[in-house]
Amino acid sequence: MSPDATAGPRRPEADAGAMVSVRAVSKVYPGGVEALSDITLDFPKGKLTTILGPSGCGKTTLLKIVAGLLPPTAGEVTVAGRRVAGPGPERAFVFQDFALMPWATVLRNVAFGIELRGVPRAEREAVAMRHIAEVGLQGFERHYPHELSGGMRQRVGLARALAVDAEVLLMDEPFSAVDEQTRRKFQEDLLALAAGKGKTLLFVTHSIEEAVYLSDRIVLLSRRPSRVSSIVEPAIPRDAPPEAIRRHPAYLDTVEAIWRGLKQYLD
């Protein structure tokens, strides 16, 4: 008998162009709640991939496993070929609820990640100031979170993630707490930042329209226990103005196709 005959099923090999690889990941919470079942995915380097699915399907769970904030029950995650066993400097998380330190200024909040790495104060504050300006908060460096609007606090969270210069940005519904006008501005800002920095972005949202507008790839998950239902690559013109993109037939058709795919899980 050949060695392969007794080895059992092989795990799918990681895509050589992937920054993040998820292999046969499952997650069962205490009490027996199965959130994820045998998820295998590759997230290409330099691309924005959105994770989309019905409410409660495990989107945030998957993101936290990639971040190293939750251990998988089975399977493994690698980032740049290295197995994830906890948080690491190559990944940065932008939380839905901002997760800012209320007692610290904008400057201190943004610099905090690099402060933990032992970067000298003058150097880390210079880095923080650059990213504060990049997200449009110049002049608010000495303000505290309670003095800012929800949209401004979310910008602080994004600046903090950018300041640590991580290769992978993990974003958990980062625009859900802001009004529609601010949300659209954030979307445009995020696309500009993604194009300029070449980061690998994993983005979780409930909005089909947001996913199609932002994404190079969209991973559709089934209802819990979640599996990969399909992967969509929107073929929309990225060089057109934002409103033209949202009126483009390819954009509208992709939104409708994804809605039909997700609707089955709501019946």
Q: 81, 56, 59, 57: which is closest to 70 by C-alpha?
A: 59
In a domain, 122, yes or no: yes
Which pLDDT tens digit goes with each residue over 203-219? 999 899 999 999 999 99
Q: Which residue has the higher pLDDT, 31 or 217?
A: 217
Alpha-carbon distance of 111 to 131, in angstroms, equals 10
- pLDDT at residue 5 is higher than 70: no
Please state the pTM of the whole predicted model: 0.84
Assess contact for 48 and 216: CB atoms under 8 A.
yes
Same domain, 62 and 151: no
CATH code, 175? 3.40.50.300
**Cis-peptide, bond into residue 249, ω within 30° of zero:** no
Split into its structural domains, the chain has a count of 2
Same domain, 220 and 240: yes
Show the domain range for 159: 100-165
Same domain, 177 and 252: yes
Assess contact for 96 and 172: CB atoms under 8 A.
yes
Same domain, 181 and 230: yes
- Please name the residue that has the structure tokens 């990049």: 134
Which pLDDT tens digit goes with each residue over 86-126? 998 889 888 777 778 999 999 999 999 888 888 899 999 99
Same domain, 175 and 214: yes
The first and second tokens of residue 205, run together, are 């949202």
Proportion of the chain in helix, strand, coil states, percent, rounded to 5: 35, 25, 40
* pLDDT band, residue 50 (cuts 50/70/90): very high
In a domain, 36, yes or no: no
Same domain, 84 and 64: yes
Q: 19, 27, 63, 61: which is closest to 44 by C-alpha?
A: 19
In this structure, which amino acid lies at residue 89?
Answer: P
Same domain, 111 and 231: no
